Structure 1
Amino acid sequence: MKLFIFSLFIFCINAKTSAPVYHLEQGVNVKIESSFTKRLNIFCYYGKPKYIIHLWQTVLFKINHPSKDYSRYDGPTEEIVEKEYMKKHYSWSLNIFSTQERNVKLNPFNDSCIGIESKEAYNVTFNIIRIDLWKLLYLIFGVLLFISAPQLSKNTIFYYVCGIIFGICTSLLILIYIASKIIPRKPFMYGVLGCGWTVVIYVLQILWDNIRMILEHYKLYVIWYMLATGFISFILCYRWGPVENERTINLIKWSLQITGLTLMFFSSHFQEAAMAQIVVLILFYNIPKSWFLVPKRYWVRKFPPKVKLLTNDEYYEEGVKETKKALEELRNFCSSPECNQWKMALKLHNVKRFASFVEGNSHLSDDEILEYETSIQGGLTDEEDENYTDED
Structure 2
Amino acid sequence: MLLRAVPGQSKGGNMYRGHLLSYMLLLLAVTILLDQSDAQKSVPVTELTSKGGTNYSGSGEGKLEIFCYRARPYSPFGVFSSSRLEYRILPPSYALYEGESEQEVHYLHGNASQSWLPVLFQRKHVSFPPFTNKCIGIVSSYAYSFVFREYNIDYFRLLQCVASLALFFYARNLVHSPAIFYSGGALLGVLASILLLIFLLKRLFPGGRMTVAAMFVTGWSFWIYLLLQLWNSKFEIFCHYKHYFLAYIGLSAGIAFLICYRIGPPKDERTIDTMQILMQFVALNGVYFSSDAPEVTLAFCIIALLAYNFPARMKARFTTWLQRRFFKPTIRMLTEEEYIRQGDETTARELERLRDFARSPDCDAWKVMSRLRNPSRFGSFVLGESHLQDSEILEYETTGAHFDDDSALTHDTTDDDDGEHDVDIALRRNLLAEGARSASRYLTSASSVLANGNHTGNHLRNTILHRT
TM-score range (shorter-chain normalised) is 0.7 to 0.9
8 Å Cα contact 1:13/1:87 also seen in 2: no
Partner of 1:20: 44
SS at match of 1:56: coil
- One-letter identity of the residue aligned with 2:273: N
- Rounded to whole Å, the distance in 1 between the matches of 2:386 and 2:293 is 72
Aligned partner (choices 277, 282, 289) of residue 254 of structure 1 = 277
- One-letter identity of the residue aligned with 2:102: E
- Rounded to whole Å, the distance in 2 between the matches of 1:298 and 1:77 is 50
Structure 1 pair 247/342, CA: closer, same or farther in 2 (3 Å)? closer
8 Å Cα contact 1:19/1:40 also seen in 2: yes
- Rounded to whole Å, the distance in 2 between the matches of 1:253 and 1:223 is 31
Q: Output one character per residue of 1:278-302: Cα deviation in whole Å (capped at 9) or x when no partner.
A: 111222222224334258469969x
- One-letter identity of the residue aligned with 2:169: I
Q: Does 2:336 match 1:320?
A: no
Aligned partner (choices 171, 190, 213) of residue 193 of structure 2 = 171
Comparing 179-188 with 141-150, greater Cα deviation is found at 179-188
- One-letter identity of the residue aligned with 2:81: Q
Structure 1 pair 341/270, CA: closer, same or farther in 2 (3 Å)? closer
Aligned partner (choices 172, 180, 191) of residue 202 of structure 2 = 180
- Rounded to whole Å, the distance in 2 between the matches of 1:92 and 1:254 is 43
Q: Does 2:259 match 1:228?
A: no
- Rounded to whole Å, the distance in 1 between the matches of 2:171 and 2:78 is 29
Shift of 1:267: 0.8
- One-letter identity of the residue aligned with 1:243: P
Structure 1 pair 31/110, CA: closer, same or farther in 2 (3 Å)? closer
Shift of 1:128: 0.7
Partner of 2:376: 349
Partner of 2:72: 48
Shift of 1:100: 1.0
Shift of 1:153: 1.8
Which is higher, the Rg of structure 1 or of structure 2? 2
Q: Output one character per residue of 1:96-147: Cα deviation in whole Å (capped at 9) or x when no partner.
A: 8432102111111111111111233321211111111121111101110111
TM-score (norm 1): 0.79
Partner of 1:29: 54
TM-score (norm 2): 0.68
Q: How many residues align?
A: 376
8 Å Cα contact 2:94/2:119 also seen in 1: no
Structure 1 pair 136/305, CA: closer, same or farther in 2 (3 Å)? closer
- Rounded to whole Å, the distance in 2 between the matches of 1:33 and 1:201 is 27
Q: Does 2:120 match 1:98?
A: yes
Partner of 1:369: 393
Comparing 260-269 with 325-334, greater Cα deviation is found at 325-334
- Rounded to whole Å, the distance in 2 between the matches of 1:126 and 1:56 is 17
- One-letter identity of the residue aligned with 1:103: H
SS at match of 2:54: strand
- Rounded to whole Å, the distance in 2 between the matches of 1:79 and 1:388 is 106
Comparing 168-177 with 133-142, greater Cα deviation is found at 168-177
8 Å Cα contact 1:97/1:202 also seen in 2: no
Q: After TM superposition, list the pairs within 5 Å mapping 1:1-392 onto structure 2.
A: 7=28, 10=32, 16=39, 18-27=42-51, 28-32=53-57, 34=59, 37-88=61-112, 91=113, 93-95=115-117, 97-185=119-207, 197-206=220-229, 213-292=236-315, 293=317, 296=320, 314-330=338-354, 339-340=360-361, 347=369, 349=376, 353-354=380-381, 356-357=383-384, 362-374=386-398, 377=400, 384-387=407-410
- One-letter identity of the residue aligned with 1:251: T
Structure 1 pair 340/129, CA: closer, same or farther in 2 (3 Å)? same
Shift of 1:76: 1.4
Shift of 1:44: 0.6
Q: Output one character per residue of 1:76-105: Cα deviation in whole Å (capped at 9) or x when no partner.
A: 1122222222323xx555558432102111
Q: What 5-or-longer segments of structure 1 have no aligned partner?
A: none
Shift of 1:174: 1.7
- One-letter identity of the residue aligned with 2:161: L
- Rounded to whole Å, the distance in 1 between the matches of 2:211 and 2:318 is 72
**Identical pairs, percent:** 29
Structure 1 pair 184/277, CA: closer, same or farther in 2 (3 Å)? same
Specify which structure has the bigger relative contact order, considering alpha-carbon pairs within 8 angstroms and separated by 6 or more residues: 1
